[in-house]
Structures are given as C-alpha cells and as structure tokens.
Structure 1
Amino acid sequence: MKWIQLLIPYLLISTITCGSHSLKFLSTGSVQPGDRPLVEQLTVFDGVPISYCDTVTKREQLKPTLESQKLPENCHEAWENIIDSLNKIPRLTNSTVYVVQRRRGCILSANGTVVAFEAWAVDGMDFISFDPESQRWRSQSPSARPVEHRWNKNTLMNHAFRHFIREECPQMIQGIKLRPIQQKTELRVFAKPIVDTDQALLRCHVTSIDKSVSSVHLIGNGASRASWISVTGPMPAEDGAVILRLTAEISQRRDDYTYGCTVQTGSHNITVFWDGTTLDGRSLLYHLSAFWKMLTAILGVICLVSIITIISCAMICLLKCVKMKPSPPSRVDPQLVEQFTRIMESVASPDLQSVIFSVTQGREGNRKSYEQWEMVVMLRDKRHYDPEYFADKIDGPQR
C-alpha cells in the first residue's frame, strides 16, 4: 500500500527518549473516477502495528501482539473524517485529489509530558498540519490555503481533534501492553530464472522482529560477477516485523559460483548460502546441468554421424574412381604368340583348342589376348590362302 511506504520513516525511526511511548493512527483514503472511496487505518504502538480498521464493519481488528489495551472498539469517526476530506478538499483547492493521508497521535514521556500531533498529506505531498495548543491549522502547501481558512473556522472540529490527541491518546498509551517478542530474524535465499535468457534473479528475503536489523549484503565468489544488485527496505510487516529484500541478477551459465547473503543484527550476523533452488523448492542448478549434459550428448551424436558420413562418402568416391580407371593394355611377347600359334595349329579339334587356350591363358581366359592371337593367325593364313600370293609363287619359278 502506498500510504504505508510513505510513512515508513514514522514506523521505523524512533523519535522518543528512553521510557517514552508513542501511539499513532495512520489513515488513508483513496478514490478513482467511477469507483467508491476506500478507507484504511492502522494503529501503531512504539513502532508495532496493534490494530487494523475493517473498512466494511468499521470495527478495530486487534493484533495478537497485544496483551492488554484500551483502544476504541470502532473507527467510524476516523472513517467519516477521511470520506469528508475526499469530498471537500478537491472543491476547496479546485483540483483532483486521488489520495488523502492522515497521521495523528501522541508521545507520552516518562515524566508525563505529552506531545500531540496531527498532519495531512494529499497525493503523497505534505498538505496541512494542526497545532493542538492554539487549535489552529497551518498550510504546508500553497494549494492548502483555502482549506486552512475553512478548517480554522470550524472550532468544534478543532476542539474535538485536540481533545483526542491530548487527552484520549495518552490514556490509551497507559492501558496498552505488548506481549514479549522474541528478537527473531529469518533469512531466505532463492532464485527465479528470467524467461528466454541465461540470467536469473537471486533473492535474499529478510523478515525480522529485531529492530537493529538494517542491512543485507550479497556474498560468495559469484557476488562480484552479478550484473546488478538492488536492496529495498526496511519495510514494515505484520506483527511489528520489518522486511528487507536484496535482488541480484546472476548468470545461469556457471553453476560452480556460490552466492549467499548476510544480515547484520545488533548481537550477531546471519549468513545463508543459496542451495540452487527456486522459491517453490525446484533445483535450478540441476536443470541447468542436465540441460548442458543433454546438449553435449546431442552434439556428440551429431559429430559422430557426420564423421561416419564423410568417411563413407570418401570410400564410395574412391571405389568409383578405381573402377573407372582403365586397366593398362597387356603386352604380348611375339615369341610366346608364335609358340602358342604352333600349338594351336597342331590341334585339329576346335574344342580341344579352346581347352588349350583356357589352360594357357587362365581359367577365365583373356579375351583381348585371344583376339590378338586370332588376328596373328588370320594374317598368317592370308599368306597361305591368298590366290594372288600363290600365283606370284608359281609364276616366279617358271619364269
């Protein structure tokens, strides 16, 4: 709530001396165009919230921190004051008002001295304050001057305001007693991955009843590598506790870095290291390691398949090249051809010639050698069977 954030200094910074007690009534009213106004009130004793006003029933809801009290049972009067200011202040200032805040109460010192106060703010800015001794209003902003003139004329209202903060408030303080509160501080460290990035938000959440808690720090060997660090608080929480929160952006690429937070208190320090989990207990580092292991396995399989494919393609290409390369022509010795021809001439059967050729040339035979031998035989036979050749031979000796 905005009004709580604006009043943090009044809740956390002690303005009273030893033995003194303070009681504050913090009210806020807000309205948006077309909506009904919303009114809230929180009662704080010595910086500890002790009561909350229910806006529906207008009754005070007491906190369990109270052991005894003399608080009013309802907050109807305070609720009407806020609603009235939401309606009248905009008309007097001729401006739009969305939020009205009121802080009133008293401080009772050990010697019985009473300091009373009442102040108003509009849209988060100081607006007007009340002096209980003179029962006069003083504007804190130029726009509040019309309200100052109008409220100073309402003597009955001013008298009632003075009576409440000067007379009723100190009596309430004397009847309030808080339960003993253990000075407890809780520190939780967790992380949340940032979608579609390799970054994560590390959170250190501190809840403490110890008022001496004022700071929280990021530690670990990965602290110096954080992209940025932000600390908010102390902020008031329920039952008088305060909240501090540290947020740091860290990298998810390295799971060997350590991160932790330390909180300084009045008596000792509390340190907690991040165990790699998210807020709901899921292990963030485990998922990161599994992801990288799976990615490494996939890349290994891809590399192995690529190597096998390259080797197979190279072997196929090599085999094709070997098959396409023509075998060198065989050289036939002329003397062997002549001997082979004589053997073949001495055999009259063609089948027997084929057998002799297969044995001499190999079981499968050599078609090219056989063709060469056949050509030699044909040339030789041509000399024997050519008529012109024989004519020349016959005519020659006769002549």
Structure 2
Amino acid sequence: MKMLILLFVFLHVSSSVKHTLRFFFTASSGIPNFPEVMAVGMAADILMGYCDDDRNFKPKHWMEKIFDDDPQQLDWYHYLCFENEPNFFKSSITSLKRRLNQSEGVHILQRMSGCDWDDETGDVVGFNQYGYDGEDFISLDLETQTWIAAKPQAVTTKLTWDADRDRMKLNEVYLTQLFPALLKTYLEYGENVLLRTDLPSVSLLQKTPASPVSCHATGFYPDKADLFWRKDGEQLHEDVDHGEILPNKDGTFQMRVDLNLSSVRPEDWSRYDCVFQLSGVKNHIVTKLDKDQIRTNWETSRITTILIIISLVVLVLVLIAAVGFMVSRKKQAKDPPSPPGNSSELSERLNPET
C-alpha cells in the first residue's frame, strides 16, 4: 500500500488575494412591463443587494448588521436607487437615442463600476465603464483623467465628459477612496460569507482501463480555483483535458481534469500528480497518480454483466422446464389411463366365475 495520496504542500511564499466590489446598473427602453432602471451590488462576487421595483435597496441578510451600525449608508443606497442613478440613466439613454437617430426598438444602457483591492500590496484599481446595446461604449482612464471612446458614436460623450472636471474628480474619489473603504468594511462584517473557503475532496476516477484518468475535485468554495496535472513537478499542457467549474446543489463547486494514459508507461506513474489550488489558500492539495487509489466501476460493471447473463440463462432454463412440464400435463389429460394389466385379466376381474 502506497502512501496517502492527499498531501498538503505548505508554501513559504504568501499568496495575495484580490477582492472585488462591483455595481451594475442597467437602463432599458422599449421593453413593456420591464423596469426602466435596475441595479445590483456585489462584493467578492457575492450579492450584497439590489434596487427593487419601488426603487428601494434590498440588502442581503449579511449586510443588515452594517446598516444597523451605519444607517447613513443605507440612506445612500436608497438615494442611488430612487433619485440619482435612475434620473441619470433615463436622461442618458434618451440623449443617446436622439443622437443616434433611434426612435423605436429595444435599447439597453449598462454601467459597471467598482474597484479591485489587493490585500497584500494595498493596490487599488478603480474602473467605470459603459456599454450600449450589447457593445462597449465608453470607459474611464484614471491615469490620464480622460474617457476612452470605444466606438465613433461615443466621441461626443467623451468630449463632453472630459470637459466636466467636477465629474472627473467625483469619479476619482468614488473609485479610489469611497469604494475601497466600503469593500474593506464589507469584508470585515461579512467575513463568514465573503471570505469563506471550503477545500474539496479529490479523487482519481476511471471508467475503463483504457479510459483517461480523471482527477475530480468537489465541494470547494469559492469558484476561484485551478486543477491541473503535473509531471516531475512541471504542469502538463498536452494529453490533458480540462473540464469547466460546475455548481453543486449545496452551493459549492466541482471540476475535473483528465489525463490521457496512452503515452504514459506504467513505471512512470509515480512521476505524475494532480494539483488543486484555491484562491487565497496557501495549502495546495496534491494527489499522486496511484493505480491502487483509482476508483472505477469497470470491475463492478463486468461482474454485474456476468451476473445478469447467468440470471438470464437460469431464467431461460426454468422457462424451458416449465413449458415441458405443462406440455406433459396436457398430454396426460388427453390420453386415457393405461389398464392395470392385460385385457384378459381385466375381463376376469369384471366377470368372475361363479
């Protein structure tokens, strides 16, 4: 029996994590019975809350403690949902339709703003970008303090917004100061939700002896993970097939990566291993390629097939015997019983001498 296949590799270098804050606003025109403006906030890819149909901010349960301690923050969200952003987006989409000679049809204006914060270096990257009708439209470059037009139709907007220095200063404050401060607060209050990490169970699976060996990790959280095969400590890029990260019913995730064994000699198996890495977790899970540890249903399927065949043969024999017995019984019912001796003996018994 070889050593346990799950090994934790303790790295001596720290692994920084980039935390994210995102605000998504969507304005629509020409869609009946659909909200004119929708908004969603997310921290570390987890929903914080959203603006409902009445333009009130509906926070998730883990945000409620924050608003209890800082009611003004909830008022700020309500202001964004009810007055500031709806008015801005409605006027913006009206202006774009007029400028682009669009009077009919469905039109969508979207904005994504927020920041990324590196908890090790302290670096903050803020962003503010717009899309119109499914295409990039305009984005902010904080370094040059200018807007970048993604298409010719956005040049007029760029020139107008570049000239508005108060708007540029406000964007800089939001993206480099306010948003990072909010993100750090949310990470502190919502640590159990936003910084949750669950390590997976890792197994080696194989359908048949000729099939690739699948390294399967399930039960991990969040979905910022990597899974790959190595040979002699070097990551393999050939003879491997990476699967997508898929959700489990309990909110965790699973993924797999297959290794084609056609070019791997049996004596070289010990040179291969599978590595699972979870963002923000320093301990990687390493699974050695070990034939004795591969889980497969090949033997079980073969035994099951043999048992089924035996059962069918027995069933056929039983049916043949039953049919033969029934035929024999029917034949006996049609033929009269044989006399208990010859005819003369029967006659003597029926007519005895007196």
Question: Could you say which TM-score interval applies, normalised by the shorter chain?
Answer: 0.3 to 0.5
Larger radius of gyration: 1
When you count strand as a share of all residues, which structure comes out higher? 2
Structure with larger RCO (C-alpha < 8 A, sep 6+): 2
- Structure 1 length as normaliser, TM-score? 0.43
